[in-house]
Structure 1
């Protein structure tokens, strides 16, 4: 009974993680275009705190949603993929602002998003197996 209540929460967290990963990728691309191409918004878009906060939020959401899924379904792939993505995102904090940072961040958020997608697929397949009795 408790697991049925938990599953929708985890699904929402996975969906939030996918949305935030996409928003982060858009932020990176827009930052490059606006700051490099037009010289606008450097102080706002490239502020290091945005990236630090983003990494903390991504780590919390991925840790809860994907960690929960890994423990429940005993499937490591979503966890490994997402943690690899978080490592890329952390690496992006270690390089100067610019192209390298954006590439590392985009690779990272793509992997974190893929981890959430894989996690959602395992939730769906587990629910299907439960309903169908497999």
Structure 2
């Protein structure tokens, strides 16, 4: 019974993770255009603090939503894909600002987002099987 009440929360966290991943990718691309193309906003857009804070939020949301989902539906794929993405995002913090950082970050957020999507699909499949008795 408790799991049924908690499932909507986990789905919301997965959706928030997808939204956060998309916002991060847009931030990366916009930063490259604004800073290198127009020379504005470097102090704000390229601040390492933004990337660190984003990684903390992404890690927390993924840990709760995907970790919870992995325990619930016993599927490792969403967890492995998301953790690989978080590793890429962490690696992006270790390289200087520029195209290498953007590439690592975009790969990372795409994988984290894919992990959340897989998690949503697995939770939907598990709920269908539960209702149908399979």
TM-score, scaled to structure 2: 0.99
Gaps of 5+ in 2: none
1:57 aligns with 2:61: no
1:115 aligns with 2:115: yes
In 1: Cα distance, 2:77 partner to 2:123 partner: 13
Partner of 1:22: 22
In 1: Cα distance, 2:123 partner to 2:80 partner: 17
Mapping of residues 27-106 of structure 1, within 5 Å? 27-106=27-106
Q: Give the C-alpha shift of residue 73 in structure 1.
A: 1.1
In 2: Cα distance, 1:122 partner to 1:2 partner: 19
Partner of 2:10: 10
Q: Deviations over 1:38-88 (max 9, x none)?
A: 001000100000000000000000000000011111100000000000000
In 2: Cα distance, 1:69 partner to 1:130 partner: 15
Q: Give the C-alpha shift of residue 133 in structure 1.
A: 1.5
- Which runs of 4 or more aligned residues in structure 1 lie more than 3 Å from their structure 2 counterparts after TM superposition? none
Q: CA RMSD in A?
A: 0.4
In 1: Cα distance, 2:44 partner to 2:100 partner: 19
Gaps of 5+ in 1: none
Q: Give the C-alpha shift of residue 21 in structure 1.
A: 0.1
In 1: Cα distance, 2:124 partner to 2:62 partner: 18
Q: Size of the alignment, in residue pairs?
A: 134
